[in-house]
């Protein structure tokens, strides 16, 4: 891998909009997540995050501190990660792992009260399960039935 690749996380800014609206996913991936433009709403409890490679958007996810978190964790300091995606042309280059490797430091700096990240991953989304496992998420053993079938609940303790 090219050592000049600089991957970092950033809160969404309007300057990323044009790049994010060009994001695409194959149908087999889109069934498990949402494209960034569908999830750009920012509130005090909803935080769109962009994965940047050399300052350009390559990935996206949302961190929630809303009541939705309670569906996945009893921890009042937990946040929920949703809508994770890497733009299809950027897949296979290690961007997802590099972006997720930044998660702990980013959350510690941006959301200092947070000490746990939780997420739900579809039972059929093996690639995502492998990614989350590689970066330190653990399967809690909890299961939830979502719109697209059984979901595994993963967590990452900070």
| pLDDT single digits (tens) 15-62 | 999 999 999 999 889 889 999 989 998 889 999 999 999 999 999 999
154 sits in which H/E element? strand 149-157
Instruction: Please give the average per-residue pLDDT across 119-147, as a whole number.
Output: 96
Length of the chain: 158
Q: What is the pTM of this model?
A: 0.93
Residue 39: how many other CB atoms lie within 10 Å? 19
54 sits in which H/E element? none
Domain presence at residue 31 = yes
Long-range pairs, 37-46, Cβ under 8 A, ≥24:
38/83, 39/82, 39/83, 40/12, 42/12
SS (H, E, C) 92-138: CCCHHHHHHHCHHHHHHHHCCCCCEEEEEEECCCHHHHHHHHHCCCE
- Domain with residue 53: its CATH number is 3.40.630.30
User: What domain range is 24 assigned to?
Assistant: 7-157
Domain presence at residue 2 = no
Domains: count for the chain? 1
| pLDDT single digits (tens) 82-103 | 999 999 999 999 999 999 999 9
Contact 153, 140 (CB under 8 A): yes
| pLDDT single digits (tens) 63-82 | 999 999 999 999 999 999 99
Domain presence at residue 1 = no
Instruction: With cut-offs at 50, 70 and 90, classify the pLDDT of residue 3.
Output: low
């Amino acid at each position: 891998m090219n050592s000049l690749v600089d991957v970092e996380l950033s809160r969404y800014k309007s300057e990323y909009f044009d790049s994010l609206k060009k994001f695409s996913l194959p149908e087999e991936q889109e069934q498990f997540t949402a494209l960034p433009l569908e999830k750009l709403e920012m509130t005090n409890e909803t935080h769109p995050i962009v994965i940047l490679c050399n300052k350009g958007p390559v990935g996206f996810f949302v961190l929630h501190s809303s009541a939705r978190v309670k569906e996945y964790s009893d921890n009042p300091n937990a946040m929920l990660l949703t809508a994770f995606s890497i733009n299809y042309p950027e897949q296979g280059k290690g961007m997802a792992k590099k972006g997720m490797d930044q998660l702990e430091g980013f959350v510690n700096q941006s959301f200092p009260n947070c000490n746990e990240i939780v997420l739900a991953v579809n039972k059929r989304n093996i690639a995502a399960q492998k990614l989350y496992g590689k970066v330190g998420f653990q399967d809690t053993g909890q299961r939830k039935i979502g719109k697209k079938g059984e979901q595994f609940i993963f967590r990452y303790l900070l």
